[in-house]
């Protein structure tokens, strides 16, 4: 059974998509921009944007009854591959025990001028 996951603890979708979709124990989390759901703002640095995107993902996981350790794969989009080391350091601090598989790609631009966007797949 397919269930839409939504929480006010993460930014609302800015288009025709869901924050997350749960299907047969697997959660597919849409790309999370580093938007603070309380203020609507974005932090300035790549490290802070990485942390904010990951906190948004954590909120969606929690809404689905999951946690960070349940993440099996992430995709990280960067607008500048020169920011990889800064992103990677912030990312590494988030995944201390169970590290998921990951893809990291550079893109020409991201919505709302973000420098980072992260999505994930999690399962129980």
Any idea which residues carry the catalytic annotation? 104
Q: Using the structure block, give the residue that is written with the tokens 């990889």.
A: 84
C-alpha distance across the termini of the chain, in Å: 15
Alpha-carbon gap, residue 73 to 116, rounded angstroms: 16
Q: Which of 25, 10, 9, 2 is nearest to 119 (CA)?
A: 10
């Amino acid at each position: 059974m397919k269930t839409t996951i939504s929480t006010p603890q993460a930014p609302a979708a800015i288009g025709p998509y869901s924050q997350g979709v749960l299907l047969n124990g697997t959660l597919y989390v849409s790309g999370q921009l580093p938007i603070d759901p309380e203020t609507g703002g974005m932090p300035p640095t790549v490290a802070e944007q990485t942390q904010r995107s990951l906190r948004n993902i954590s909120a969606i996981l929690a809404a689905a009854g999951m946690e960070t350790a349940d993440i099996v794969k992430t995709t990280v989009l960067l607008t500048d591959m020169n920011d990889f080391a800064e992103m990677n350091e912030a990312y590494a601090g988030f995944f201390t025990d169970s590290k998921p598989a990951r893809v990291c790609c550079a893109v020409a631009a991201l919505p709302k001028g973000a420098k980072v966007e992260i999505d994930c797949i999690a399962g129980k």
